[in-house]
Amino acid sequence: MTDFVLKRMVALVLPFVQMLGFYVIFHGHLSPGGSFSGGIITGLSLIAFSLVFGLERGQEKVSERMMSLVESFGALWYGAMGLVGVLRGTTFLMNKGAGVPLGEPGKLYSGGLILLITLGVGLKVASTVVTLFVALMEEEE
Amino acid sequence: MGELWSRVLQNYPYVFALALFAIGIYTILTHSNLFKKVIGINIMEGSTYILFIAAGNVRGGVAPILDMGDPGLVYVHPLPQALMLTGIVVSVSVTALSLALITKLYRFYGTVDAKEIMKIRSEVRANAGRD
Amino acid sequence: MPGAISENLAVLIVVALLSTAYIMPLLTKIGRFRVAEFFAVFMLALALSGGVYLAREILHNGAFTYAVGGWPAPWGIELSLDAVSGLFLITVGLVATPILLYASVDLVQDVGSRSRAAWFLTLFLLLVAALCGLGITGDLFNIYVMVEVATIASCAIVAAQNDATSVEATFKYLMLATIGSGFVLLAIGFLFVLTGNLNMNFIAQELAASWQNYPTALWVSLSFFMVGFGVKSALFPLHVWLPDAHSSAIAPSSAMLSSLAIKGYIIALLKVFYVAVGAEIITRLPITNILAVLGMLAIIAGALFALAQDELKRRLAFSTVSQVGYIFLGIGLGNIQGLTGSFMHILSHAITKALLFLAAGSIIKRTGKTRISEMAGVGFEMPVTLGVFAVGSLSMIGIPLFSGFVSKWQLLLGSLARGNYLSVIVLVGGSLLAAAYLLPVLRTAFFERPVQNPVVTEMAYVQLVAMLFLAVVILMVGVSPGVVLQLAKQAAMTLLGLEVLP
């Protein structure tokens, strides 16, 4: 792909797409969307980069190794957040009852652990989408 | 008889859901193109989303985002929507897995048509038997 | 701290297995692959001991529930820990641990590369975690999610070998299994519309009060459940995917799928029918009779199909179709002995079929022969492998002192208690047919002289230990079924809603 306009446009738009992705992830507990939608948006931005600039340059930016690390981290992070409740002597995934401060309703920090869990799931979804894309692209050679 | 029809019409989302479900299964079972089978899966899963969302709908209800300013608002049931988000994730992963399998099958057989794959396989088996 | 662990044990088992699954690629990239394998086997053994501990608690102190996240039942997800979950956790642990131990020796060679082997471990552990989750959950939608995780993981471990046959079998399996889960999800939707609940105990309360107002809708929902779980657990006319998928995968995958994966869906079906809908309603509907008839058809037809196969693994795969019929027959009988027999058969068939598939995989791997007629004299070359194969065969037939006898005896008692003499004939006939399709393997292996001198050696010690472990469990359950049988009986009583004495 040597399309100049396409490359410039993608380079211009991508940061905003990624920002939107993280915005959706962070506001999952306040507005429509959440970790899954936000993670997909973030992942798609990386896929768009690979599509326009080629798979190799995309791999330079975020390597497969890095992605699988993030993927495992996202899943483990969820488990760790769930264990907070167990360690505080209550049940798995317990939020308020485990003594986590809930914050003020309607503000960004509200809902205690939910924000942190959403972050982990969002990272996992984003990296999974990219890994899937890379796996399917590599099959084709 | 008239009462039955009016009840069916009132509950039209369920009728749509079941019709779509049947169309999806028909597509999976009758089309020999593997991609069309995957499309059939997505139609089938889509029908279940309609069923659940319709079950959680309240006529005149708004999206279930708590609005402190207006206590008189009627909200739709948020649970089916959350469940169907999970359903969408599941169907995305099934679609991804089946697409990956299709690319593999294409590499092995050079076609994405189930009938041709069967033909190639039976030829291979017949040749193996002759040796 | 010990208190916190034992209170949350049920959820910790699932979470630990899931986390271990996701650590596998990391461990392989950072450390040595052997470390990852050892860690996976260790975690499975830990899950097994956790399951045994839970089952003991349930047996002594009765069933209890666990609210995830501290949200009580109608709002949050509730885990219901009764004898059913205890028995199934033990089954999963007892079978999955030796299978993974067996797999770990040749895994890299079997699936192609180290990174692929790491993903195989991930999928294997995901499958085990999903099965454990199916055993303990008390929530309908949770069942759907666990069923899907199990389906995707089992599809992927069929394709692990990465050759044309197994990939094609996987695709077929995936299509049919997805149709099955579509039916299950639609049926869950029906129950949700009817009762407004997803928690199984609450659904049971709602239905008990109002099911006569919409019997047709309930009927549709139940038949969708039957078809959906029937496809996934290879109930007779819906079994078409099973022989290809189970015979083309590598030995540990076949063992895992044939012994455990299909049992998870049966447990889910049992929970939906007897817990969510309730024994009161389900035994009044003719759906249990349909299950019994299909079970009997499966026993006979599966065994006849198995007789016609010359490929060893295909014969074992069709034998699974036949043996699943026993479990469905027990469910269909709907009385306490029948259900006890079903639960015992879930355990005993899981152990036996895992052993048979591992032994068959060993024979095929060492000799390169897949057909039974070519296996003359293998018994002299691989005495231990064929010895445990003999133990498995005798248990599958239902010879006394082997675990298969215990379950078939209970099923026989259940049939007699119902006065159903046709099923008595089918049970005995099924055993005779099982003898007819399994004993020729032993005859060929032990009583026919090989053409050339023996060149084949036994499997690695670890693999022999894994198979011997399964054989010893078969004998232990067969000789003194006491505690396990009590657990199965208690599970049956829980499902039928009878008073369980702690």
Chain C positions touching B90 (Cβ under 8 A) are 145, 148, 181
What does R_g of chain A's alpha carbons equal in angstroms? 18
Q: Is C112 on the interface with B (CB under 8 A)?
A: no
C194 inside 8 A of chain B by CB: no
Pick from C142, C168, C224 the residue to mutate for testing the B interface (most B CBs within 10 Å).
Answer: C168
Average pLDDT over residues C273-296: 89
Task: Name the C residues in 180-219 with CB < 8 Å from any A CB.
Answer: none
- CA contacts within 13 A on the Cβ side of C266: 33
Establish if C22 touches chain A: CB-CB under 8 angstroms. Answer: yes
pLDDT the model gives residue A141: 44
pLDDT at A107: 76
The neighbour count for residue C112, using CB atoms within 10 Å, is 15
Helices (DSSP H) in C309-420: which residue ranges? Answer: 312-333, 336-367, 378-381, 383-397, 403-418
Structure token digits, residue A84: 């907070």
Specify if C298 maps to a domain: yes
Residues of chain A under the 50 pLDDT cut:
140-141
Dist CA C83 CA B107 (whole Å) = 48
Helix, coil or strand: residue C191? helix
- Closest residue in chain B to residue C149, using alpha carbons only: B90
User: Per DSSP, what are the bridge partners of residue C79?
Assistant: C66, C137
CA–CA dist C89, C133 (Å, integer): 9
* Window from C98-102, C150-154, C238-242, C495-499 with minimum mean pLDDT: C495-499
- Whether residue C297 is contained in a domain is answered as yes
Distances, alpha carbon B18 to alpha carbons A135, B8, C20, C196, in Å: 35, 12, 40, 19
- The dihedral sign for the CA sequence C315, C316, C317, C322: positive
| Of residues C32 and C293, more confidently modeled | C293
Q: How many domains, in total, are found in chain C?
A: 1
Are C11 and A92 in contact (CB < 8 Å)?
yes
Question: Closest Cα of chain C to A90: distance in Å?
Answer: 8
Which residues of B fall within a CB distance of 8 Å from A36? 85, 88-89
Among candidates C18, C25, C68 on the partner chain, residue whose Cβ is nearest the Cβ of A93:
C68
CA angle C145, C150, C155 (to 5 degrees): 130
Chain B residues close to C112, C-beta within 8 Å: none
State yes or no: pLDDT of C60 exceeds 80.
yes
The pair phi, psi for residue A29, each rounded to 5°, is -90, 0
pLDDT band at C3 (very low <50, low <70, confident <90, very high): low
Kindly state whether C18 is in contact with chain A, defined as any CB-CB distance less than 8 angstroms: yes
For residue C27, give the H/E element and its range.
helix C9-30
Å between A127 CA and nearest CA of chain B:
14
Report the candidate in C425, C400, C398, C403 with the shortest Cα–Cα distance to residue C488: C403
Q: Averaged over C475-496, what is the pLDDT?
A: 89
pLDDT of residue C1: 41
How many other CB atoms are found less than 10 A from the CB of residue C51? 26
Q: Cβ neighbours of residue C52 under 8 Å, at least 6 residues apart?
A: C90, C93
Query: What's the CA gap between C471 and C389, in Å, rounded?
Result: 9
Cα gap C434→C321, rounded to integer Å: 12
Query: What's the gap in Å between the CA of A85 and the closest CA on chain B?
Result: 23
Which domains are present in chain B? 2-59+75-130 (1.10.287.3510)
Query: What are the CA-CA distances from residue A63 to residues A50, A73, C490 (Å)?
Result: 11, 15, 53
Task: State whether residue A141 sits within 8 Å of chain B by CB.
Answer: no
Q: Give partners of B (≥3 CB pairs < 8 A).
A: A, C
Q: Among B65, B92, B95, B112, which would you mutate to test the A interface (most chain A Cβ atoms within 10 Å of its Cβ)?
A: B92
A140 with B63: Cβ contact below 8 A: no
Q: What are the structural domain ranges in chain A? A: 4-139
- Of B45, B35, B49, the closest CA to residue B98 belongs to B35
pLDDT tens, position by position, C252-268: 999 999 999 999 999 99
User: What average pLDDT does range C265-278 have in this prediction?
Assistant: 92
For residue B100, how many C-alpha atoms fall within 13 Å in the half-sphere facing its CB? 21
**Predicted pLDDT at C131:** 94
Å from B82 to nearest chain A CA?
A: 11
Measured CA to CA, the distance from residue C253 to residue C244 in angstroms comes to 13
* Residue pair C142/C132 in contact by the 8 Å Cβ criterion: no
CB contact under 8 A, C185 and B101: no
Nearest residue on chain B to C179, alpha-carbon basis = B25
Q: For A6-37, what is each residue's pLDDT tens digit?
A: 888 888 999 999 999 999 998 888 877 788 88
Determine the average pLDDT of the residues in C467-482.
91
Find out whether C207 and C281 touch, Cβ atoms under 8 Å: yes
Q: How many CB atoms lie within 10 A of CB C79?
A: 22
Mean pLDDT of C95-117: 87
CA distances from C445 to C356, C358, C396, C456 (A): 14, 16, 18, 13
**CA C283 vs CA C208, C297, C307, C353: distances in Å:** 13, 20, 34, 30
Residue predicted with more confidence, C130 or C380: C130
| Mean pLDDT, rounded, for C240-261 | 89
Residue type, C72: P
Q: What is the mean pLDDT of chain C?
A: 88
Q: Is B59 left (phi over 0), alpha (psi -120 to 50) or beta?
A: beta
3-state secondary structure of C137: strand
Rounded CA-CA distance C84/C58 in Å is: 10
CB distance A79–C19 less than 8 Å? yes
Chain B residues touching chain C at CB-CB below 8 Å: 14, 17, 21, 24-25, 28-29, 34, 37, 41, 44-45, 47-48, 51-52, 55, 79-80, 83, 86-87, 90, 93-94, 97-98, 101-102, 104-105, 108-109, 117, 121
Give the count of Cβ contacts less than 8 A between chain B and C: 81
Q: How far apart are CA C313 and CA C306, in angstroms?
A: 10
For C405-458, the pLDDT digits (tens) are 999 999 999 999 988 889 999 999 999 999 999 998 888 888 877 666 666 777
For C129-154, how does the pLDDT look when each residue is reduced to its tens digit (9 = 90+)? 999 999 999 889 999 999 999 999 99
Average pLDDT over chain B reads 86
Q: Is it the case that residue C357 has pLDDT exceeding 90?
A: yes
Q: What is the pLDDT of residues B1-38, one digit of tens each?
A: 678 888 888 888 888 999 999 999 999 989 999 999 99
Distance of CA A117 to the CA centre of its chain: 11
Which of B62-76, C120-134, C150-164, C314-328 has the weakest average pLDDT?
B62-76
Q: Which of A76, A79, A91 sits opposite C8 (nearest CB)?
A: A91
Question: B90 and C145 in contact by Cβ < 8 A?
Answer: yes
- What's the CA gap between B116 and B94, in Å, rounded? 24
Local confidence band at C210 (pLDDT 50, 70, 90 cut-offs) = confident
pLDDT of residue C344: 93
| Mean pLDDT computed over C295-316 | 92
Q: Quick one: closest CA in A to B90, which residue?
A: A36
Among candidates C167, C175, C198 on the partner chain, residue whose Cβ is nearest the Cβ of B28: C175
Closest approach of A61 to chain C, Cα-based (Å): 20
Predicted confidence (pLDDT) at residue C472 exceeds the cutoff of 80: yes
The per-residue pLDDT for C466 is 92
Nearest to A36 among B85, B96, B104 (CB): B85
Q: Which residue has the higher pLDDT, C32 or C385?
A: C385
Q: What's the pLDDT score for residue C501?
A: 58
Q: Which site among B8, B51, B53 would you substitute to test the C interface, given the most C Cβ atoms closer than 10 Å to its Cβ?
A: B51
Looking at chain A, which residue has its C-alpha nearest residue B88? A36
d(CA C9, CA C6): 5
**Tokens coding C234:** 């290879």
User: B89 to chain C: nearest residue by CA?
Assistant: C145
Residue type, A26: F
pLDDT score of A88: 79
Partner-chain contact C168 B117, CB within 8 Å: yes
Nearest to C189 among B55, B102, B109 (CB): B55
- Domain of C467, in residue numbers: 286-502
A37 → chain B, closest CA residue: B85
Give the CA diameter of chain A.
59
Beta-carbon separation of C155 and B97 below 8 A = yes
Q: Name every chain C residue with its beta carbon within 8 A of the beta carbon of B121.
A: 164, 168
Structural tokens at position B49: 């989303």
Mean pLDDT for the stretch of residues C51-72: 84
Please say if the pLDDT value at position C278 is more than 50.
Answer: yes
pLDDT (mean) for C299-314 = 91
Q: Which of C112 and C94 is assigned the larger pLDDT?
A: C94
Q: Do C69 and A85 touch (CB under 8 A)?
A: yes
In this predicted structure, the answer to whether residue C168 has a pLDDT above a threshold of 60 is yes
Q: Number of CB pairs < 8 Å for A and B? A: 22
